[in-house]
Amino acid sequence: MAPTRDHSLPELNGHGLQLRPWNPDSGSDVDTWLRGLRDPEFRRWNTPLRPVTDRRSARESLLAREQSAAEGTSLSFRIADARGGTVLGHIGVNEIRYHLRVARVGYWVLPEARGRGVATRALLLAARWAFTELRLHRLELDHAVGHEASCRIAERCGFAQEGTLRGAIFAEDRHDAFRDAHLHARLATDPEPAGVRGSEDDR
C-alpha cells in the first residue's frame, strides 16, 4: 500500500535557513539523502537501523519518513540556505509521544556545509517550532560518547547534558554491538539560548 501523502508539514524559515519536508519523488532529494547517509563522518557516529546504500534504498527511506510524518510520529525536514536554496543537511523531530509531550531530535550536515553553524541554527529553529506549534514540553537529543562537536551544538542550543545512556545505540557499522550515548534535553520552560554564531562544530 502506498503511503498517505502529507501536505500539512510546514515550511520553517529563520536564522538564514529554510526547513521543508523531504520529497521522495524528487530525484535531487533522494540523491542528497543518499549522499548524507553515506558520508563517512555521518557513518562514524550513526548506524541506521536499515542501511541506505543506493538510490532505491534512499527513496524507500524517505517514503518511510513521509509515512511517519503522515502519522505524526516523526517529522523530517530538509535544511536549505534561505537565500540560494542550496541543500545543507537534515533535521528531524522524531519519536513524538504526544501524551507525554516529548520527542527526540536528530540532525546531520553535508560535508561542504560544515563550519557555518548550520546544525546550531537548524536545531534552534526546529526546537522553537516544536515547543510553540506542537506544544511539546521536552525535547531529547542523544549522541555517541566521544562526539564532542555534537555535544557542543546541543549545549549551545540549550540542551543540557543529563547523563550517559549505557549501551544505548549501535556501534559504528554494527547491529550486533552497542556503545554509550550522552543524553541532552531541553524543556519548553528553559531560557531561550543566546545568539547564533557560525561554528566549526557542525558535523
Higher pLDDT, 107 or 4: 107
**Residue 93 CB-half CA count within 13 A:** 32
Mean pLDDT of the residues in the chain: 92
pLDDT value at residue 64: 96
Longest dimension (CA), the chain: 46
Percent of the chain's residues with pLDDT above 90: 89
* pLDDT above 80: residue 112: yes
Give me the pLDDT at residue 1, please: 28
Give me the phi and psi of 70, to 5 degrees please: -60, -35
Res. 203: pLDDT tops 80: no
Whether 137 shows a pLDDT value over 70: the answer reads: yes
Residue 200 has pLDDT above 90, yes or no: no
**What does the block give as the cell for 182?**
550522552
> Grid cell 541554527 — which residue?
121
What pLDDT does residue 197 have?
A: 53
**pLDDT at 128 (0 to 100):** 97
